[in-house]
Structure 1
Amino acid sequence: MKAKVKLIEKYRKYSEGFKKSIVDDFESGKFSVSQLERIHKISNQSIYKWIYKYSNHNERGQRIVEMKDSSTEKLKALEQRIKELEQTVGQKQIQIDYFEKMIDVAKTELDIDIKKNSNTPQSSGSATTRRK
């Protein structure tokens, strides 16, 4: 005869002081939610609930965004790249202005029209043209 076995639900109950200490660790910046989850083996949903319940700064309806170190480093690298590109664009603009000024000087002083006139017919290539 088989004995009836009833499974015992694994359910942990945490004290209010423990929950508040978890929230304090998060708010002080010592640990992120994912780190607290790994350290204490508590689901992140529970930790977020406690943050919304016991935190002075976070309220329900507001999203908590944690920036990882890699995200901040990536952001700094992207900002540096933008700065370098803006500098390159500035240098190219100076070159363009210089070349345009040289074209104007060549036209006024040397009477040489460097800019291609849109009315000029296109060249047929390197083939010789016949004259009639």
Structure 2
Amino acid sequence: MKPNVRLLRKQRQYSDEFKKQIVADFEGGQLSVPQLSKLHGVAYQVIYRWIYKFSTFNEKGFRVVEMKDSSQKKMKEMEAKIQELEAALGRKQIQVDYFEKMIELAKTELDIDIKKNYSTPQSTGSGKTKKK
């Protein structure tokens, strides 16, 4: 006859000081929940329960979301991409300002109108031609 496995398992009791120390380690950013779980041999669900219970930052009705390393890495990559695009946009804006100034100088000093004259009719040269 097999022994009842449930009767052999013992439920572990942790002190409030131990629970608060784990929550403090998590809040301090020293360790993540999976790291704490592996280090102390406590299920991560239990650690989240302790965070909800003992956290100084947690308010009732709010869920704790922990960003994984890959999410943080992706966020940093996106921020770097945004900075790169903003720099490119700034360079293009400088070029646009330069070209507009050149057009203005060409008109005032050389009396050359480079901008399109809106009163002239559009060209029909790119339209379809009739076959004979």
Q: Which deviates more from structure 2 when the two are superposed, residues 44-53 or residues 77-86?
A: 77-86
Which residue matches 2:125? 124
Query: TM-score, with normalisation over the residues of structure 2?
Result: 0.69
Alignment of 1:69-80 (within 5 A): 69-80=69-80
Which residue matches 1:40? 40
Deviation of 1:108 (Å): 2.7
Deviation of 1:39 (Å): 2.6
Identity of aligned residues (%): 52
Structure 2, gaps ≥5 residues long:
127-132
Residues 1:66 and 1:121: Cα distance change in structure 2 (over 3 Å): closer
Deviation of 1:24 (Å): 3.3
Which residue matches 1:84? 84
Deviation of 1:49 (Å): 1.0
> Which of 1 and 2 has greater Rg?
1
Q: Deviations over 1:87-119 (max 9, x none)?
A: 221221121111112112222332222222342
Which residue matches 1:8? 5
Alignment of 1:99-114 (within 5 A): 99-114=99-114
- Report runs of 4+ in structure 1 exceeding 6 Å deviation: none
Query: TM-score, with normalisation over the residues of structure 1?
Result: 0.69
Q: Which deviates more from structure 2 when the two are superposed, residues 114-123 or residues 103-112?
A: 114-123
